[in-house]
Homo-oligomer: A and B are copies of this chain.
Amino acid sequence: MATQGKTRGRSKSEQKRHQILLAATRLYLEQGIHATSMEQIAEEAEVSKQTLYSHFGGKEELFVAAIEQKCIQHELAPALFNDDLPPRQVLFDLATHLLELLLSEDAIKLHRLCISGVEQYPSICQLYWQAGPQNLIGLFQNYLERKVESGQLQINNTAFAAQQFLNMVKGDAYMKAILNIGDVPAIEDLYAYLDDVVDLFLNAYESSQSS
């Protein structure tokens, strides 16, 4: 009783709050902001509409909370911490992991949703950018700088190089997926493409040595 509501282990209120966030995230990602009503979220979460309002105050706050939670849950680039592997393999691992992530249903719908809300909810775009692209560029740039120091790569402008590699990985497949043009290709079908990307990058930046 002295422990503010958590006398029974987990409070029912927290449980419902979690259900709401889960349902809201799923519906917003699936249908967009305006096509999803508070009533529908309440049904999906199996709570009443009033409970939504007592927990989150209104539709805007609920939307922002749902998207924020979704923005920070992906691991971006585990490959970048294998400093023992040769750069070619690290780059290829990074490329495949990243493209797979980018082409996933969830990531595509999150991207669309953030863009749809850019006018009304600018904060979610900020968060999305920081947690996603900006974070990744930083990690990758750090990696490149380590490889320059160790003499494995020769790069004048690591920020530029990092940006270009990541843009090439995305290629056109990403925008086609965002615009829902054609089928989303399986990652295996993109291996040859990513191989060419790594080649192009290393041709430009690998320390000179005959292949």
Contacts and interface: CB of A to CB of B under 8 A. Distances in A.
A167 interface: yes
A168 to B, nearest CB: 5
A118 B177 CA distance: 11
Interface in A113-159: 114-116, 118-120, 122, 125-126, 128-129, 133, 137, 157
Contact of A176 (B31, B122, B129, B170): B129
Contact of A34 (B34, B126, B157, B178): B34
Interface residues of A, number: 40
Q: What 9 pairs between A and B have smallest CB-CB spacing? A: A34-B34, A125-B179, A116-B116, A167-B167, A129-B181, A115-B115, A118-B180, A129-B179, A112-B115
A125 to B, nearest CB: 4
Nearest to A118: B180
Contact of A168 (B114, B167, B178, B196): B167
Q: How many copies of the polypeptide does the oligomer hold?
A: 2
Contacts of A181: 125-126, 129
Given A32-B116, A34-B34, A167-B172, 17 more contacts: A32-B119, A33-B34, A35-B119, A112-B116, A115-B116, A115-B179, A118-B178, A125-B179, A126-B181, A128-B179, A163-B171, A164-B200, A167-B167, A167-B168, A167-B170, A203-B204, A204-B204
Interface string A32-66: 11110000000000000000000000000000000
Given A112-B116, A115-B112, A160-B196, A122 B170 contact: no
